[in-house]
Amino acid sequence: MNILVTGASKGIGNVIAKELYNIGNVFVTGRNEQALAACNAKGYCVCDLSENTEILAEFIQKNNIDVLINNAGEYIYGAIEALKADDIRKIYQVNLISPAYLISKALPYMKNKKWGRIINIGSISGVMGEAYASVYSSSKAGLIGLTKALALETAQYNITVNTINPGWVDTDLGANSINSSEFTTQEIIDTIPQKRFVSPDEIAKLCKYLISNDARGITGQSVNVCAGLSVGI
């Protein structure tokens, strides 16, 4: 089993990579070479998904990736009319276009093998919508649509495709997202039914399960791991 985790330099991706070390050959990618080297993975590829996906596409084909975890993501907070064209392009490129392209490069090997796992890391904002994060929310909603369609296309090849939608997660990105918003950490916590942030290892362990044979019947699903945020307050 050859596993690729994108955005593995830190945060959720880094924890996912470490959780999966004992079930296959883990490869990682991200923008920070020093952080990737510190992962002690089977191999790594330095790549900025907002600029150049070709180098990673070649890496996928060279290493016969049969488990692809699209975790890399970008977030921006602000009214859409205040965003620059480059900001909008970057969000869609990293969050939706690059995952779709990387999947297209991984699928031929998976289909030939008649086995594969694709896990897209979405966001609860793609399920519910988030005010002043419309571009981010729509990019993550796109992942859910991509997941459903691809699950139908690949089911006959014993390939599963699923999306995990985290809520507020205890990572640097989560903290930075709060800092760029108009809310305090406590105000955010007050909106979450379980009154806590999700831990990255909760996402990682769910990835491990979805890769396993026990989860072979789960495909085309959008799983919310949000401490109850999607239910209401």
Tell me the pLDDT tens digit for each residue of 40-98.
Answer: 899 999 999 999 899 999 999 999 999 999 999 999 999 999 999 999 999 999 999 99
Q: Report the interhelical angle of 200-211 vs 11-19 (nearest 10°).
A: 50
Domain holding 123, by residue range, is 2-225
* pTM above threshold 0.75: yes
pLDDT at 174 over 70: no
Average pLDDT over residues 123-144: 95
The CATH number of the domain where 205 resides is what? 3.40.50.720
Q: Are 47 and 53 in contact (CB under 8 A)?
A: yes
Rounded distance between C-alpha atoms, residue 27 and residue 174, angstroms = 24
Q: Which helix (H) or strand (E) holds 207?
A: helix 200-211
- Asked whether residue 231 is domain-assigned, the answer is no
Predicted confidence at residue 179, as pLDDT, reads 57
Residue 102, both tokens: 């990387």
How far apart, in whole angstroms, are the C-alpha atoms of residue 204 and residue 166? 11
DSSP 3-state of 123: coil
Q: Are 53 and 102 in contact (CB under 8 A)?
A: yes
Q: Name the domain count of the chain.
A: 1
Distance CA 28, CA 16 (A): 10
Whether residue 230 lies inside any domain: the answer is: no
Would residue 232 count as lying in a domain? no
Task: Collect all residues with Cβ–Cβ distance below 8 Å to 104 and sequence separation of at least 6.
Answer: none
Q: Is residue 204 part of a domain?
A: yes
User: Is 132 an annotated catalytic residue?
Assistant: no
Catalytic one among 44, 75, 77, 136?
136
